Amino acid sequence: MFKELIIPEIKELLRKKDYKSIKEFITECHPSDIADLLESLTDGEAAILFLLLPKEQAGDTFSELETKKQEAILKQLTDQQIRELVLELEPDERTELFEELPGQITRKILQLLPPEDRRETLKILAYPEESVGRLITPEYIAVKPYWTVKEAMEYIRKNGKDAETIDIVYVVDDSGKLLDDIPIRRFILAHPDDKVESLMDGHYISISAYEDQEKAVQLVKQYNLIALPVTDSKGILLGIVTVDDIIDVMEEESTEDFRKIGGVGLSEEEDLVANVKEMSLKRLYRSRVPWLLVLLFMNIFSGGVISLFEGTIARYVVLVTFLPVIIATAGNAGSQSSTLMVRALAIGNVKLSDWAKLIGRELLISAALGLTAGIGIFFIGIARGGIKVSIVVLMTMIINVIIGSILGMSLPFLFTKLKKDPATASTPLITTMCDIIGTSIYFLIATNILF
Amino acid sequence: MFKELIIPEIKELLRKKDYKSIKEFITECHPSDIADLLESLTDGEAAILFLLLPKEQAGDTFSELETKKQEAILKQLTDQQIRELVLELEPDERTELFEELPGQITRKILQLLPPEDRRETLKILAYPEESVGRLITPEYIAVKPYWTVKEAMEYIRKNGKDAETIDIVYVVDDSGKLLDDIPIRRFILAHPDDKVESLMDGHYISISAYEDQEKAVQLVKQYNLIALPVTDSKGILLGIVTVDDIIDVMEEESTEDFRKIGGVGLSEEEDLVANVKEMSLKRLYRSRVPWLLVLLFMNIFSGGVISLFEGTIARYVVLVTFLPVIIATAGNAGSQSSTLMVRALAIGNVKLSDWAKLIGRELLISAALGLTAGIGIFFIGIARGGIKVSIVVLMTMIINVIIGSILGMSLPFLFTKLKKDPATASTPLITTMCDIIGTSIYFLIATNILF
């Protein structure tokens, strides 16, 4: 009766892709009613409805279903059509609509899938881009705490062939919750009749599927792991991330930072880490042109500043001959500072809170660098433009190198604070900012001292 | 008799550190005579003499020695005094004087040493900086091909506790030569009475201790290894390099490239990868000042170029207002190209031989970028300086962006060709070169079109 009334309406809402209304409606229903409903829909429709269920309900509903329907829905969840449908949505809309699937079901889906389909499916399971969830592989060994070592070894013998590693064996309870990780050597050294429980020490490092991949890299580095277990928000073991995937992530992130600091790629597109040799000319052009134009229009300001001082320049043309060396040196000092900081922030040597501590150091070093550079150019200043011009050049050089360095050092922190990648403080950006500021300071000092 | 005559002389040569004469002399002697000689010297003297022996003789001489003297020499080889003595020599002199020790002896020394002393000793064993030899750890499991699986498992059980990994078990012959690597799972799955030999497939990846660490990183990435066996030039297994060391190397090399491309650090000093926060101000100053001064003096050329055109500038002061944007855009395009190439060369996406193929692509892209930037500035040129000036600006912009890009793309290849790190083509270097060339082209075109 309930069913007869509701099914046509649900089908209509599905057709209209009005997922919000469906979600509102089914959240009110009892799991056994939902299970009933799912049985009456086509497998494709049932899969979408299932994805819309809140996490708690999804687990209960799944257990109410007949095994045949369970498998059908799992199969549908990995189907191309469902994928396309779900991927049509905006990422944040998707995250809002679809709940995290219960860990046990995620794991089952992962185990069903061939590796090449896995990444695509992890995308749909709404793990955000660059999250640990995207790296999960289900090829690990998990044993129960109440098994004997002999039983466990028997199980490893049978299932170890497909595991990515058997160096570490995971222990889970009956609901699949991660309890511990045990090095295989402890099994080999133990008595066959010992319980797995007796080998446990309760110390293990794990990570949530929603964490940033960067965090996984740090854990693997810090604890010298060869695999990192990944859990859902309830602590259910979903799979592991292996060290070879971690190596790939490290390389991708370094490449991304590298390109950003060189001013390539304004967006967070995936092709940031594509192979330069194989990228299409169009994509390469598009990855380079945005920054180039942004910087170009910033540079027009330098020109604007200069045009304010045309009178000064007309009287002292020699000032122009020092313009390149002054703005370039400030830009170079700034680039050095920003590269040092971007990398230090990326590998975790420096934290956001270190800024205040570091600025004092930067002031001292940049003053020393500015003085060195200033003296380097001072005597050429005397030779070409006389003592007054050379004093202008010396003063400008010191001030500009300090400002450039402080700017280069601080911008990566600012971008981090704004939740942007610190590498956005690219060397071209720093150089351009130094150009504008440096030109202004140069001609201001010159106009004041020379006239 | 032989001994009586020679010992005082050897002792004298040792005191004078005239290693060359000693080496010449002992190379002529029979191993049993040398063994005899070693027994009569103090342990310290004997150790140095031993280090001077050619590889073939060293092995034979070592077996001729009494066990007590053998141990004494090994102990001396790891002693602080010997270290200091050997480290006093220039690295190339050291490599020339001291032969590679026989692998069996290297391995024994490594096993005797606590981990903190290991790196220091690997330095003395004359493995060059950044070679795989510096990363060796002796904590692995090696079994013999004629053992049964049961014997091997017994051995693993006894010795596995201290191994870095037992996921991979190595097979060596009686001389210590590496024959194969076998995943532990193959042992677990095998029958206890099977011979180790029957589990071997003869496929394994190994690396020489003299290879570059970069090569080890590539092998580990390519074959998803968790440990890489390291052999001496005769194929003797010296130890393994584990994936956590590989991760450290990757990070160090990325950081080094990062700093270089930002123009920090002219030399190959080790502090290139030190923590910015903890580096002394003096070291930080010294790592930044060389490039800053090199670039400063390069930039003085730009000034020199400008001074050649003072006449042009005096008549068209407006030209100066476009100088920053023109040279900066060329520098930015060049920085983009060099960053892309430096990274592509570092991770092996691009090879030295790809240059010719890539230059065509770079020409097309940079022409498109130059045209985009040129049009972007063209109309401002009309507004500020009239049609003639804007044509000068447009033409200069296109030519400069092309030259900057080609330069930025090609320099990393040139440095690679010259056996220098491609990251030496830092963005400040490219920017500065673009400044000089760009300024010249700008005023040349201006002088020709405007007069």
Q: How confident is the model at residue A266 (pLDDT cuts 50, 70, 90)?
A: very low
Q: Which of residues A51 and B172 earns the better pLDDT score? A: B172
Say whether residue B336 is in contact with chain A using an 8 A CB cutoff: yes
Does B358 touch chain A if contact means CB atoms closer than 8 Å? yes
Q: What value does the mean pLDDT take over residues A201-214?
A: 91
What pLDDT does A270 receive?
A: 47
- A377 to chain B, any CB pair closer than 8 A? The answer is yes
Q: What integer pLDDT is reported at residue B270 of this predicted model?
A: 47
Q: Is A154 on the interface with B (CB under 8 A)?
A: no
Where does the pLDDT of residue B86 fall: very low under 50, low under 70, confident under 90, or very high at 90 and above?
low
Give the mean pLDDT of chain B. 84
User: Per the CB < 8 Å rule, is B325 touching A302?
Assistant: yes
CB A177 within 8 A of CB A234: yes
A 10 A CB-CB count for B150 gives 14
CATH architecture entry for A272-450 = Orthogonal Bundle (1.10)
What integer pLDDT is reported at residue A13 of this predicted model? Answer: 85
pLDDT for A103 equals: 76
Nearest chain B CA: its distance from A399 CA (Å): 15
pLDDT tier at B228, thresholds 50, 70, 90: very high
**Do residue A380 and residue B300 have CB atoms under 8 angstroms apart?**
yes
Alpha-carbon distance B383 to nearest alpha carbon in chain A (angstroms): 12
What pLDDT score does A87 carry?
Answer: 65
Nearest to B167 among A165, A323, A427 (CB): A165
Please give the pLDDT value at position B92: 63
Query: Which chain A residue is nearest to residue B428, measuring alpha carbons?
Result: A332
Does pLDDT of A197 surpass 80? yes
pLDDT at B433 over 80: yes
Write the single-letter amino acid at B305: V
- Are B373 and A257 a contacting pair at CB < 8 A? no
Share the mean pLDDT of chain A: 84
Question: Which residue is associated with the tokens 């507004």?
Answer: B383
pLDDT band at B267 (very low <50, low <70, confident <90, very high): very low
Mean pLDDT of A255-282: 68
The distance of B122 to chain A (nearest Cα, Å) reads: 22
Q: Cα-flanking dihedrals φ and ψ of residue A78, to 5°?
A: -100, 10
Token duo for residue A196: 């797995």
Q: Which residues of B touch A167 (CB under 8 A)?
A: 165-167, 184, 226
Going by pLDDT thresholds of 50, 70 and 90, the confidence category of residue B199 is very high
In percent, how much of chain B has pLDDT > 90? 24
Q: How close does chain A come to B243, measured CA to CA in Å? A: 8
Confidence band (pLDDT; 50, 70, 90) for A83? low
Evaluate whether A56 touches A234 at the Cβ level (below 8 Å). Answer: no
The reported pLDDT for the residue numbered A191 is 87
Confidence at residue B85, expressed as pLDDT on a 0 to 100 scale: 63
Q: d(Cα B291, Cα B342) in Å, to the nearest integer?
A: 18
Place of tokens 């008595």: A191
The ipTM of this complex is 0.71
Given pLDDT bands bounded at 50, 70 and 90, which one contains residue A94? low
pLDDT band, very low/low/confident/very high, at A2 (cuts 50, 70, 90): low
Domain range B142-242, its CATH number among 3.90.25.10, 2.60.120.10, 3.10.580.10, 3.40.605.10: 3.10.580.10
Per-residue pLDDT band for B99 (boundaries 50, 70, 90) equals low
Nearest to A339, CA basis, from B412, B437, B291: B291
Please give the residue that has the higher pLDDT: either A84 or A421.
A421
As a whole number of angstroms, the longest Cα–Cα distance in chain A is: 100
Q: How would you classify the pairing of strands B142-143 and A142-143?
A: unpaired
C-alpha distances in Å from residue B207, one per residue of A88, A259, B107, B144: 48, 31, 15, 20
| Contacts B338 to A, Cβ<8 Å | 262
**Closest partner CB to B320 (pick from A161, A184, A320):** A320
The pLDDT assigned to A45 comes to: 85
Question: What is the maximum span of chain B, computed from C-alpha positions, in angstroms?
Answer: 100
- Chain A interface includes B360 (CB < 8 A): no
Size of chain B in residues: 451
A428 to chain B, minimum CA–CA distance in Å?
A: 6
> Domain spans of chain B?
2-129, 142-242, 272-450
pTM over 0.95: no
Element (H, E) at A208: strand A207-208
Q: Residue B96 — very low, low, confident or very high, per pLDDT cuts 50/70/90?
A: low
Among B293, B296, B339, the residue with its CB nearest the CB of A261 is B339
Residue B266, pLDDT above cutoff 80: no
Question: What pLDDT score was predicted for residue B185?
Answer: 81
The partner residue sitting opposite B292, judged by closest CB among A340, A373, A432, is A373
Most confident region among B16-30, B55-69, B91-105, B222-236 by mean pLDDT: B222-236
- Give me the percent of chain B exceeding a pLDDT of 70: 90
Neighboring chain A residues of B189 at a CB cutoff of 8 Å:
157, 160-161
Q: Which of A165, A340, A342, A362 to mutate to test the interface with B (most CBs of B within 10 A)?
A: A340
Q: Give the integer Cα–Cα distance in Å for B37 and B49.
A: 9
Using alpha carbons, select from B263, B423, B289 the residue that is nearest to residue A332. Answer: B263
Of A268-277, A409-418, A427-436, B303-312, which gets the smallest average pLDDT? A268-277
Considering only A237-251, B85-99, B307-321, B332-346, which range has the smallest mean pLDDT?
B85-99
With cut-offs at 50, 70 and 90, classify the pLDDT of residue B366: very high
Which run of H or of E encompasses A228?
A: strand A227-231
Nearest 5 degrees, angle CA A175-CA A178-CA A182?
130
Contact flag B292-A329 (C-beta cutoff 8 Å):
yes
Q: What is the pLDDT of residue A267?
A: 47
Chain B residues with CB-CB distance to A299 below 8 A:
324-325, 328-329
Residues 6 or more apart from A64 whose CB is under 8 A from it?
A31, A32, A34, A35
From the list B257, B264, B323, the residue facing A340 with the nearest CB is B264
pLDDT band with cut points at 50, 70 and 90 for residue B272:
very low
Q: Do A394 and A370 touch, CB atoms closer than 8 A?
A: no
Q: Are A141 and A128 in contact (CB under 8 A)?
A: no
Q: Which CATH number fits domain B2-129: 1.10.30, 1.10.10, 1.25.60, 3.10.450?
A: 1.25.60
pLDDT in the model for residue B97 = 65
Residue B127 — left, alpha, or beta (φ > 0 → left; ψ -120 to 50 → alpha)?
A: beta
Provide mean pLDDT across the span B8-32: 83
Kindly list the distances between the CA atom of residue B338 and the CA atoms of A211, A252, A263, B202, B294, in Å, as whole numbers in the listed order.
33, 18, 11, 43, 19
Question: Hey, are the CB atoms on B340 and A259 less than 8 Å from each other?
Answer: yes
- Cβ B226–A167 below 8 Å, yes or no? yes
pLDDT of B262 higher than 50: yes
Given a cut of 70, is residue A220 above it in pLDDT?
A: yes
